[in-house]
Structure 1
Amino acid sequence: MWLVEQVVSRRIILHVDMNSFYASVEMAYDPSLKGKPLAIAGNVEERKGIIVTCSYEARAKGVTATMPLWQARRLCPDLIIRKPNFERYRTASQAMFELLREYTHLVEPVSIDEGYIDLSNFEGSRPLEIAELIQERLVDELLLPCSIGVAPNKFLAKMASNMKKPLGITILRKRDMPKTLWPLPVHEMHGVGGKTAEKLHTIGVHTIYDLAHANEVQVKKLLGVNGERLIQKANGIDNREVNPNAIYDFKSIGNSKTLAKNTTKENEIREVLKKLSHSVSVRLKRKEVLATKLLVTIRYGNLKTITRSKKLNNPIGEEKDLFHEATELFFSHWNDEPIRLLGITGQDLVEKDDAVKQLDLFSYEQDAKDEPILSIIDQINQKYGEQLLKKGIKVKGKETPTPGTSFSKDFFT
């Protein structure tokens, strides 16, 4: 590559955030959709369907993520609906990250449609020019638009990428914060959800400026250790490195319980699994992480021990979700022999702020009914896992793309 690596003390971080990713991928597969109001939704044939994400043309008509399908159609009668195709989106995501890695190996995927790039050790071109080139190539070669934030750390880069959509590039420095960030409502700060904002309001913190200048002891008492981190970020301080291996970290949180006596009673087993799910959930929440893999340990009365694990479709941390997955995993592998010990472990943990749900239709619509996390889903969906790339993404053999699209011709798997 034409960039020359060097050792420098400055930090130049890019946050690449794909614009309306699912809808953009569908447009890349079927160019006839380009420029039209498009929504990705579950239960397309039913009124109870929920909008997962939508194009900017649809947003201009008032359509938003988490909106019931019937309401979206009322606002936009000509709305085009497509069911999610997650295999297609994963393929596009892989192509996107491969393009980013042509510039540096310091690429950290955060979710299927966003990631950080560390360009601190390169010279030969200004960061803005590199960002422009990346943005142009993603559009020209993958037909996918993005917004990019350029900053001295990950937090500021993340905030910057959200300032101009679609196809925006924003440079955000610490000296820009008083004018650009501090006047914003505190709920617009990355890492501050609706409930956290409500708690901050109780101590008079309504803007990012208020948080940056808040009493640290008071905020920490209210929010725990996360309060201290939020104050630092509100002041533009974020020393986290771009870690290409972050998504491969194998961290875990688990608990086990030895039964007072061996049992084969299902109600007793379920009660133990429920208690273990509660304790694991509490620990996950304390560390502000979610599990993307679940492991169940079974020890029989003869002391034979087995473990069975399951990769989860969506990151989880709530007791009811852990209990559901653990129960299903246990009863699919139990041989009906007496049980002596049970254990539940959440593995492949991801930070709650960075966890993005790869939504299947059922879980999405169930969650949309759950008011406490509705705002989280909304935030997630407002954003939206050696060869030179050509236009489109070549689909796998089982894929049946729209005839005549660039994806069916040139993209690679």
Structure 2
Amino acid sequence: MEKVILHVDMDAFFASVEQLDNKKLRGKPVIVGGVSERGVVSTCSYEARKYGVHSAMPIFIAQKLCPNGIYLRTRMFRYKEVSGQIFNILRDVTEIIEPLSIDEAYLDITNSNFDNGMEAAKYIKNRVFKEIGLTISVGISYNKFLAKLASDWNKPNGIKIITKNMIPEILLPLPISKIHGLGKKSVEKLNNIGIFLVKDLYEMPKNFYIEYLGKYGLEIYDRIRGIDNREVKIERDRKSYGRERTLKSDTNEKEELLMYLENFSGEISKSLLRDNVEGKTITVKYKTSDFQSHTRSKTLNYYTNNFKDIYNTCREILDNEEITQGIRLIGISISSFKENTIEQLKLF
């Protein structure tokens, strides 16, 4: 039996929630992420996107592109509340849900009570709009890659189905950046040898994928031929715990940066202890005043969730860095986990 996979994606979610809660913002360019020039765009409305504004863009650049935009701080508590309402609707469709983020998920409806993917997609879209007042885009296909590709096809408020008989023709005209698994560096690498469209890549021999794209090459080879065997996972394993902050003003003072690393280490340690998890790879990330990102990692020879272990490793990493420019953002993360399954022995 062929699988039926849906990918649901809430349209410009943070900005849409702000417009939902404040009617005066509707139809206007709303940029969520902060009011300070040192902030970063989290989400922007489609009205703002017409000016070239997009997520992860520094606020000061967004302000130049869209000086009449309405700039708002994030209200994460409210976005989580609305997200919870939407996911409750999704659970009425199927229990096989893989959340990707607060506003995005895969659903496997193969054995659900719906006759087909289109019926389920329309049910979700209608309920989300009537009960909450937001639009959502849905992609339908027989695997995760194609379902996600389809959800982005007619945004916002879109719905799209990709069937087996459309493959590979529907993929060939697309830019290779649309292929899940090809990152920015891989795309640039392929562009440099004249490969811009899926059609260009499709014509390459199988061994090219391995030689040029490494261990994931065969996945890309299959993917552009409509093959993706990944299952929809009900529980997603968390890959890392992290904290970061954009500073009020650039600094190259290590003692000041260490204050942030100390606070972050404490917060992450509390989260790890709460979730009964230990990690061993600790990464320090910083962004210089020219927006260049740098990451430095160290893998310990033991697992830990101890504050001192995390902080001392961060301090060691920073001590080995030569800071020649002002730092505008600093952060840390811990990964490579194991679950702590040791139970305390009871006396009786």
Q: Which has the higher contact order (CA 8 A, sep 6+)?
A: 1
Q: 1:319 to 1:58 in 2, by over 3 A?
A: closer
What amino acid is the match of 1:147? S
Question: 2:4–2:141: 8 Å Cα contact kept in structure 1?
Answer: yes
Cα displacement string for residues 18-77 of structure 1 (whole angstroms, at most 9, x for unaligned residues): 1111111222232332222100123x13x3333222000111233223334344334333
Question: 1:209–1:234: 8 Å Cα contact kept in structure 2?
Answer: no
* Structure 1 counterpart of 2:252: none
1:366 aligns with 2:344: no
Deviation at 1:196, TM superposition (A): 0.8
What amino acid is the match of 1:96? I
User: Which runs of structure 2 are paired with 1:52-201 in the superposition (5 Å)?
Assistant: 52-201=42-191
1:243 aligned counterpart, secondary structure: coil
Deviation at 1:238, TM superposition (A): 0.8
- Give the CA RMSD over aligned residues: 3.7
Deviation at 1:124, TM superposition (A): 4.8
TM-score (norm: length of structure 1)? 0.58
1:320 aligned counterpart, secondary structure: strand
1:366 aligned counterpart, secondary structure: strand
Cα distance in 2 between the residues matched to 1:62 and 1:204: 27
* Structure 2 counterpart of 1:222: 212
What amino acid is the match of 2:32? I
Deviation at 1:17, TM superposition (A): 0.8
Q: 1:236 to 1:99 in 2, by over 3 A?
A: same
Q: 1:96 to 1:25 in 2, by over 3 A?
A: same
* Structure 1 counterpart of 2:25: 33
Question: 2:168–2:224: 8 Å Cα contact kept in structure 1?
Answer: no
**Dislocated runs of 4+, deviation >4 Å:** 307-310, 331-334
Q: 1:52 to 1:205 in 2, by over 3 A?
A: same
What amino acid is the match of 1:174? K
What amino acid is the match of 1:66? A
Q: 1:294 to 1:235 in 2, by over 3 A?
A: farther
1:16 aligns with 2:8: yes
Question: 2:285–2:296: 8 Å Cα contact kept in structure 1?
Answer: no
Deviation at 1:118, TM superposition (A): 0.9
Question: 2:93–2:112: 8 Å Cα contact kept in structure 1?
Answer: no
1:116 aligned counterpart, secondary structure: strand
Aligned residues: 274
Question: 2:140–2:161: 8 Å Cα contact kept in structure 1?
Answer: yes
What amino acid is the match of 2:200? D
Q: 1:59 to 1:70 in 2, by over 3 A?
A: same
Q: 1:308 to 1:184 in 2, by over 3 A?
A: closer
After TM superposition, the structure 1 stretch with the greater mean CA deviation from structure 2, 211-220 or 155-164, is 211-220
Cα distance in 2 between the residues matched to 1:63 and 1:251: 29
Cα distance in 1 between the residues matched to 2:298 and 2:15: 31
Question: 2:5–2:106: 8 Å Cα contact kept in structure 1?
Answer: yes
Cα distance in 2 between the residues matched to 1:110 and 1:142: 21
What amino acid is the match of 1:27? Q
Cα displacement string for residues 351-372 of structure 1 (whole angstroms, at most 9, x for unaligned residues): xxxxxxxxxxxx9x738xxxxx
Q: 1:30 to 1:251 in 2, by over 3 A?
A: closer
Deviation at 1:90, TM superposition (A): 2.1
* Identity percentage of aligned residues: 38
After TM superposition, the structure 1 stretch with the greater mean CA deviation from structure 2, 119-128 or 32-41, is 119-128
2:39 aligned counterpart, secondary structure: coil
Deviation at 1:332, TM superposition (A): 7.7
Q: 1:195 to 1:109 in 2, by over 3 A?
A: same
Q: 1:98 to 1:315 in 2, by over 3 A?
A: farther
Deviation at 1:327, TM superposition (A): 11
Any stretches of 5+ residues in structure 1 without a counterpart? 1-8, 253-292, 296-306, 335-341, 343-362, 368-413
Deviation at 1:207, TM superposition (A): 1.6
* Structure 2 counterpart of 1:329: 307
After TM superposition, the structure 1 stretch with the greater mean CA deviation from structure 2, 116-125 or 236-245, is 116-125
Question: 2:27–2:47: 8 Å Cα contact kept in structure 1?
Answer: yes
Cα distance in 1 between the residues matched to 2:56 and 2:104: 20
Q: 1:131 to 1:315 in 2, by over 3 A?
A: farther
Q: 1:146 to 1:80 in 2, by over 3 A?
A: same
Deviation at 1:110, TM superposition (A): 1.3
Question: 1:294–1:309: 8 Å Cα contact kept in structure 2?
Answer: no
Question: 1:212–1:232: 8 Å Cα contact kept in structure 2?
Answer: no
Question: 1:309–1:329: 8 Å Cα contact kept in structure 2?
Answer: no
TM-score (norm: length of structure 2)? 0.68
Cα distance in 2 between the residues matched to 1:250 and 1:68: 27
Cα displacement string for residues 99-143 of structure 1 (whole angstroms, at most 9, x for unaligned residues): 101111111111111111111113553321221120121122122
